[in-house]
Amino acid sequence: MVPREIRVRARGKVNLGLGILGKRPDGYHEVESVAVLVGLADEVAVHPVPYGIEVLCSGVPGPPEENLAFKAGRAALQCFRAPFGLRISISKGIPVGGGMGGASADAAAVLKAAWMLLGEPAPRETLTEIARLLGADVPMFLLEDVTKEGRVSAFLLRGRGDEVRPVRSRDVPEIYFVLVLMNFPVSTAWAYARWDEMFQHPADRRTTDFADPRIPLIIDALKTGDARLLGPSVFNDLEEAVATDFPVIREVKQVLCQAGALGAVMTGSGSTVIGIVTDPAHGLRVCREFRRIWAEERGHSLKKSSSLPGRPGIKELVLVGRSQVLGRCTLS
Ligand code: ATP
Confidence band (pLDDT; 50, 70, 90) for 170? low
pTM confidence score? 0.94
SS3 for the chain, per residue?
CCCCCEEEEEEEEEEEEEEEEEECCCCCEEEEEEEEEEEEEEEEEEEEECCCEEEEECCCCCCHHHCHHHHHHHHHHHHCCCCCEEEEEEECCCCCCCCCCHHHHHHHHHHHHHHHHCCCCCCHHHHHHHHHHHCCCHHHHHCCCECCCCCEEEEEEECCCCEEEEEEECCCCCCEEEEEEECCCCCHHHHHHHHHHHHCCECCCCCCCCCCCHHHHHHHHHHHCCHHHHHHHCEECCHHHHHHHCCHHHHHHHHHHHCCCCCEEECCCCCCEEEEECCHHHHHHHHHHHHHHHHHHCCCCHHHHHHCCCCCCEEEEEEECCCCEEEEEECC
Distance 240 CA to ligand 1 centre (A): 21
- 6-169: CATH, from 3.30.230.10, 3.30.70.2740, 3.40.50.10420, 3.40.309.10: 3.30.230.10
Distance 219 CA to ligand 1 centre (A): 27
The yes/no answer on whether domain 176-330 falls in CATH 2.30.130.10 is: no
pLDDT tens, residue by residue, 275-288:
999 999 999 999 99
pLDDT of residue 304: 47
Where are the chain's structural domains?
A: 6-169, 176-330
pLDDT for residue 225 = 83
Segment among 91-100, 141-150, 259-268 with least mean pLDDT: 141-150
Average predicted confidence (pLDDT) for the chain: 91
User: pLDDT value at position 83?
Assistant: 92
pLDDT(305) > 90: no
User: What amino acid positions are annotated as catalytic residues?
Assistant: 13, 137
Q: What is the model's pLDDT at position 4?
A: 82
Report how far ligand 1's centroid is from the alpha carbon of 97 (Å).
Answer: 5
Domains 6-169 and 176-330 share a fold: no
pLDDT in tens, 49-60: 999 999 999 999
Q: What is the pLDDT of residues 101-115, one digit of tens each?
A: 999 999 999 999 999
* pLDDT score at 141: 96
* Pocket lining for ligand 1, CB < 6 angstroms: 57, 60-62, 67-69, 90, 96-104, 106, 137, 188, 268-269
CA nearest ligand 1 atom 29, residue: 103
Q: What is the pLDDT of residues 116-161, one digit of tens each?
A: 999 988 888 999 999 999 999 999 999 988 777 767 789 999 999 9
pLDDT at 121: 85
Residue-wise pLDDT for 196-238, tens only, equals: 999 876 665 554 567 788 999 999 998 888 899 999 999 999 9
